[in-house]
Structure 1
Amino acid sequence: MFSGDLAAHRWSDMEIAAFLMACAAFMTPEETLWLTQGMVKAGRTLSWNRGIVVDKHCIGGVPGNRTTLIVAPIVAAHGLIMPKTSSRAITSPAGTADTMEVLAKVDLSEAEMREVVETCGACVAWGGRVELSPADDVLISVERPLSMDTPEQMVASIISKKVAAGSTHLVLDVPVGPTTKVRDRRQALKLKKLFEYVADRMGLTMQVLITDALEPIGRGVGPVLEARDVMAVLENRPDAPVDLREKSIRLAGQVLEFDPALRGGAGEKRARELLESGAAAAKMDQIRKAQGPSPIANALGDLVHEVRAEASGHVEAIDCLRIAHVARLAGAPTDPGAGIEILRRTGDAVAAGQPIYRIYGSERSDFGFAVEASGENSGVRIA
């Protein structure tokens, strides 16, 4: 009843915000399960008539962690099906759907989504259009301006969307780092158990990976910049970000391990072969053509500011939260061309006055706020 009322927009934003705050403080695992079940029932569910339907998801919190757009074509090139439905950004500078929209249309109807999956083996579509767990979309619309992302609501949101999309097997990435959503391993294990509890009772086979997240992944933060990194990895360019490449291979390998025909432990090797041979890039080209051309501009913002090191030394740490905050102030993801290009990584030597990252934007007011914030605290600590 509650989820149905949400989907029918019978609750005001103020009432929804109060509910979310109550969830953050008092929600039990059983209540999280009940919410998940209700959210699935309140919307449409898809069926693919396949024994194994795979998916991969990251809980977020790490700027530039756009592995899904690399994992999906690798998995489809192998022969598994992956009907990926993604949300837009809630608290980050870019969600998977925001970045994919730079490359192709993501606003697909159910019929269009089915055609892409049947033709290509995978899609990367915005879940809001096909009304999968619509109650979750209503909650997200309130969470986004409040920058709320509670663990219980996160679990209900992710599991309900996967079950509604017809997924049977899921690899979940839980990044852990001092400036991410999950700060330590203890917190990660607690979240892992909650995910497993709900997934088991929803009939979803899940593999949870706890990964290190000490700094942003890749070089770009923001839709256009992140799409550029994704294509560099898929096209095996020599300048492609190694961290994004290797993490994507690892995650794709875990997804491929769901294939009964693949020998145990061979998933990562198979994923690397598909990427290095160009099969994954060809599959991504096929998916993009099937989904249709992007409806948005894919150019970087024409306003550029370089943030420079104030002292010589080496990069000791990069604050994920601060980098994401500055990128959002610059206009991402609403402005696809806004964001941050990271020029130095943790451990890199840097001289005073050298650029450590660039800020891009299109709107002078947003861009000005981002430049001002980076001056107050760049998010990069030099030792």
Structure 2
Amino acid sequence: MSANMGTDSTPAHGAGADETLRAWRTGIDTYQEPVVYMRRDCAVCRSEGFTTQARVQLTARSGSIVATLSVVDGPWLGHGIAGLSEAAWTSLRPQPGEWLTVSHAPVLESLSHVRAKVYGHRLDAGAFSAVIGDIAAGRYSDLHLATFITACAGDRLDLDETVSLTRAMIDVGERLDWGRDRVVDKHCVGGLPGNRTTLLVVPIVAACGLTMPKTSSRAITSPAGTADTMEVLAPVDLDIAAMRRTVESTGACIVWGGSVRLSPADDILIRVERPLDLDSEGQLVASVLSKKAAAGSTHVLIDLPVGPTAKVRSAEAAKTLGRRLIEVGRAIGLQVALRVTDGLQPVGRGIGPALEARDVLAVLRREADAPDDLRQRALRLAGDILELGGAAPEGHGLRLAAEVLADGRAWSKFAAICEAQGGLREVPLASHRQVVEAPSGGRITAIDNRVLSRAAKLAGAPKAPAAGVDVHARLGDVVQAGQPLFTLHAQAPGELAYARQYVDARPPIFQISEVS
């Protein structure tokens, strides 16, 4: 359907007719990248020589944005109209039919630093500040972002560069101050499906009197991030004022970092890292620690799961990453502690936002069939934080954490946090399920975390909250042929079939050996 606009408006003051087009909301989702659609035969394209992928500046009464151009030949876009994607429309906020001034985007001097990094040169603090400043301002296209991310991937950022990148990411956003000597936080580097300990650790720690303003990311390469799982249970898109109210009333929060503009460049980078499936060491450290510092934390515990199919593959890799986290933390004023954990198999039973939320609630409510591995892992991490934050003497944190969970204080605190963030929600259920059975009998000797996570993503997680995988067997279990290993959950039959097709085409996710 063509955009249908009247012709009674006149161009904005100071703009000629060949520089203006009228705003039309297309309703097209371009995954948070502002995109503008213009006819190839429109006066602006002809006069300015615009082509597809050009970066153009759109100016309305509400302000200006830079968007990526897509040129249209079909009849669905009317003459004299600029079609705005959802991301462009919500960023610019024009009135329907308002005249927009269209011009070339300003030249980005910081791209010279990106090109230098592509060719292997080191960047100094000023270069990172320029690049991150332009990223946070929305001046980089997804192509520019992908280039920067790739140029910094692998081991291409040394310690000084990682510190500079982290500081630059802190500087472009807001930084909270809670007026306390100790503000605690935790983070898991990821790669272990179902490892949703944060939703247990935060209420345990807050119930002991510590302040823990937890800002979390959505999934990058996993079937669910902490924010995705928490969003199943309560709103996470809080602004800073709402976040402060929640922390002041409960001592803690669990919110999405992207909604509070803490290290906003990180959320933009994560958006492109997700489809690239890249999460390199230097960028990981900068991402994690910039968010912690911006949220006002002083003491941070990092969970490093280690396993052959986890993100951190070996003890040596954990040592290297851990050293980088501690050194960068020290440089920006954070005290960082580490816990290296078992990353050989999924944690809990659920993989995907709703299934993980179900496991969390089972542990908090002390249900008899709650996954004990999730409970024990969360208690150890909470114990470490209680000691790090001074709420428990050294060696006594685990006992205190277990008491707080067992007597219901953790559940009461979690319910209070959810209420303060907008109210506790019901966990959704998937409409479509399919069981994957053991092809033969024997003992489970290995589980491929990466392939299992991929199956959960193909089933629809995390965008479809109820989608994912429910795991029924664990390492060391003896199973019979035909016994359920896991169940695929999907909210659409096509996604269920796609996930099952992927599972069937891969080597077995669960390795089963004969019992001797």
**1:42, distance to aligned residue in structure 2 (A):** 0.5
Structure 1 residue matching 2:344: 3-state secondary structure? coil
Q: Quote the Cα distance in structure 1 between the aligned partners of 2:304 and 2:418.
A: 28
Alignment of 1:8-27 (within 5 A): 8-25=137-154, 26-27=156-157
Moved runs in structure 1, 4+ residues, more than 3 A? none
Deviations 1:338-357 (A, max 9, x none): 00000111111111111110
Structure 1 residue matching 2:148: 3-state secondary structure? helix
Alignment of 1:221-260 (within 5 A): 221-260=351-390
Q: Quote the Cα distance in structure 2 between the aligned partners of 1:350 and 1:302.
A: 27
Q: Quote the Cα distance in structure 1 between the aligned partners of 2:479 and 2:262.
A: 48
Whether the aligned pair in 1 keeps the contact of 2:357 and 2:427 (CA below 8 Å) is no
Whether the aligned pair in 1 keeps the contact of 2:183 and 2:389 (CA below 8 Å) is no
Q: Quote the Cα distance in structure 1 between the aligned partners of 2:228 and 2:143.
A: 27
Q: Quote the Cα distance in structure 2 between the aligned partners of 1:335 and 1:46.
A: 32
Q: How high is the sequence identity, in percent, across the aligned residues?
A: 50
Other-structure match for 2:487: 358
Q: Quote the Cα distance in structure 2 between the aligned partners of 1:260 and 1:218.
A: 29
Other-structure match for 2:339: 209
Other-structure match for 2:187: 57
* Paired amino acid for 2:431: D
Other-structure match for 2:446: 317
Deviations 1:288-314 (A, max 9, x none): 11111368x732211110000100111
- Quick one: which of 160, 167, 170 aligns to 1:37? 167
Whether the aligned pair in 1 keeps the contact of 2:432 and 2:491 (CA below 8 Å) is yes
Whether the aligned pair in 2 keeps the contact of 1:300 and 1:361 (CA below 8 Å) is no
Structure 2 residue matching 1:132: 3-state secondary structure? coil
Larger Rg: 2
Q: Quote the Cα distance in structure 2 between the aligned partners of 1:189 and 1:303.
A: 42
Other-structure match for 1:370: 499
Aligned: 1:175 with 2:305? yes
Q: Quote the Cα distance in structure 2 between the aligned partners of 1:325 and 1:271.
A: 33
Q: Quote the Cα distance in structure 2 between the aligned partners of 1:318 and 1:113.
A: 39
Deviations 1:221-270 (A, max 9, x none): 00000000001111111101111000000000000002335322111110
Whether the aligned pair in 2 keeps the contact of 1:298 and 1:336 (CA below 8 Å) is no
- Quick one: which of 425, 430, 435 aligns to 1:301? 430
Deviations 1:131-175 (A, max 9, x none): 000111111111011111111100000000000000000000010
TM-score by length of 2: 0.73
Q: Quote the Cα distance in structure 2 between the aligned partners of 1:124 and 1:14.
A: 32
Deviations 1:19-73 (A, max 9, x none): 1111114211100100000000001111100111000110000000000000000
User: How many pairs are equivalent?
Assistant: 382
Structure 2 residue matching 1:194: 3-state secondary structure? helix
- Quick one: which of 400, 403, 416 aligns to 1:270? 400
Q: Quote the Cα distance in structure 2 between the aligned partners of 1:323 and 1:269.
A: 34
* Paired amino acid for 1:89: A
Whether the aligned pair in 1 keeps the contact of 2:184 and 2:389 (CA below 8 Å) is no
Q: Quote the Cα distance in structure 2 between the aligned partners of 1:380 and 1:261.
A: 41
Other-structure match for 1:166: 296
Whether the aligned pair in 1 keeps the contact of 2:302 and 2:338 (CA below 8 Å) is yes
Deviations 1:59-102 (A, max 9, x none): 00000000000000000000001000001000000000000011
Deviates more, 1:138-147 or 1:252-261: 252-261
Whether the aligned pair in 2 keeps the contact of 1:101 and 1:294 (CA below 8 Å) is no
- Quick one: which of 150, 170, 178 aligns to 2:280? 150
**1:364, distance to aligned residue in structure 2 (A):** 2.1
Q: Quote the Cα distance in structure 2 between the aligned partners of 1:262 and 1:129.
A: 33
Structure 2 residue matching 1:24: 3-state secondary structure? coil
Other-structure match for 1:347: 476
Q: Quote the Cα distance in structure 2 between the aligned partners of 1:263 and 1:354.
A: 46
After superposition, the Cα gap between the structure-2 partners of 1:309 and 1:261, relative to the gap in structure 1 and judged at 3 Å, is closer
Q: Quote the Cα distance in structure 2 between the aligned partners of 1:115 and 1:56.
A: 21
Q: Quote the Cα distance in structure 2 between the aligned partners of 1:262 and 1:353.
A: 48
* Paired amino acid for 2:230: M
Gaps of 5+ in 2: 1-129
Other-structure match for 1:69: 199
Q: Quote the Cα distance in structure 2 between the aligned partners of 1:258 and 1:347.
A: 34
* Paired amino acid for 1:33: V
Whether the aligned pair in 2 keeps the contact of 1:84 and 1:123 (CA below 8 Å) is yes
Other-structure match for 2:32: none
Q: Quote the Cα distance in structure 2 between the aligned partners of 1:44 and 1:259.
A: 24
Q: Quote the Cα distance in structure 1 between the aligned partners of 2:391 and 2:430.
A: 46
Q: Quote the Cα distance in structure 2 between the aligned partners of 1:219 and 1:302.
A: 18
Other-structure match for 2:219: 89
Other-structure match for 2:59: none
Structure 2 residue matching 1:160: 3-state secondary structure? helix
After superposition, the Cα gap between the structure-2 partners of 1:160 and 1:231, relative to the gap in structure 1 and judged at 3 Å, is same
Q: Quote the Cα distance in structure 1 between the aligned partners of 2:262 and 2:292.
A: 9
TM-score by length of 1: 0.98
**1:329, distance to aligned residue in structure 2 (A):** 0.3
Higher fraction of helix: 1
Structure with more contact order per residue of length (Cα contacts < 8 Å, sep ≥ 6): 1
Deviations 1:168-215 (A, max 9, x none): 000000100010111101111110111111000010011011111110
**1:370, distance to aligned residue in structure 2 (A):** 0.4
Q: Quote the Cα distance in structure 2 between the aligned partners of 1:244 and 1:261.
A: 23
Deviates more, 1:368-377 or 1:305-314: 368-377
